A and B are shown apart, each in its own frame.
Chain A
Amino acid sequence: EVQLVESGGGLVQPGGSLRLSCAASGFSFSSYEINWVRQAPGKGLEWVSYISTSGTIMNYADSVKGRLTISRDNAKNSLYLQMNSLRAEDTAIYYCTRAGLSTYTFDIWGQGTMVTVSS
């Protein structure tokens, strides 16, 4: 079964750090570009970050640039999101999504992991 499973979410204080992970299975992870998309409580979806198949090209939404870092380990079929200098507005469910079908489409989504930034 094609699957993405996120982990690492939790409660963190403003200014703190957190590292999210996303484990892939059921497909050739190294062949797909991957993105992080988040959803604040009761709000819509927001694209957060992109990483190429080799991990050499990354991009970020302006709202997180300089604070969040995306990376991947193709040998471990895993994607990561290092989150630093967290703010209350980063509180959201974070989904990892596979860019499949066309490389501009999010065809497979994980179940999400909740990040809460609060004192």
Chain B
Amino acid sequence: QSALTQPASVSGSPGQSITISCTGTSSDVGSYNLVSWYQQYPGKAPKLMIYDDSKWPSGVSNRFSGSKSGNTASLTISGLQAEDEADYYCCSYAGSNSWIFGGGTKLTVL
């Protein structure tokens, strides 16, 4: 099973909004409302930012929001800040106790 498709990189200026897309298939993203998003700084473990397509874990800024349409999920970061510069990964449940990740997107804050 191939990885979910994410853009390799996105960039934005402080204060702007950016959106990272995550495209899967009708067997994963399109079948379940179970897409999650993770933020990862270099040399650190991933951190959960969004789960079940659009829910926020406690302590995560509401500048981060998730949405989904068909087989494509999206992560939007509004009011971009320097500290948001990191790698972002989407992940979808794929049925039968299996999961699939996206290839990752490097966010650069200009």
Contacts and interface: CB of A to CB of B under 8 A. Distances in A.
Are A and B genuine complex partners?
yes
A102 interface: yes
A57 B40 CA distance: 29
B91 A46 contact: no
A35 B57 contact: no
A44 interface: yes
A62 to B, nearest CB: 7
A105 B51 contact: yes
Of A46, A57, A61, A106, most buried by chain B (CB within 10 Å of CB) is A106
Contacts of A102: 34, 51-52
Contacts of A110: 45
Interface residues of B, number: 27
Contacts of B40: 45
Interface string B67-110: 00000000000000000000001010100111111111000000
Interface in B1-54: 1, 3, 32, 34, 36, 38, 40, 45-48, 51-52
Contact of B101 (A44, A107, A112): A44
B99 A44 contact: no
B46 A109 contact: yes
Contact of B1 (A37, A62, A104, A105): A62
A47 B101 CA distance: 7
A109 B1 contact: no
Given A37-B46, A95-B46, A104-B52, 9 more contacts: A44-B104, A45-B91, A45-B101, A50-B98, A59-B96, A101-B55, A102-B51, A104-B51, A106-B46
29 contacts: A35-B99, A44-B101, A44-B102, A44-B104, A45-B40, A45-B46, A45-B104, A47-B98, A47-B101, A50-B98, A50-B99, A52-B97, A57-B97, A59-B96, A59-B97, A59-B98, A95-B46, A101-B48, A101-B51, A101-B57, A102-B52, A104-B34, A105-B34, A105-B36, A105-B51, A107-B48, A110-B45, A111-B45, A112-B45
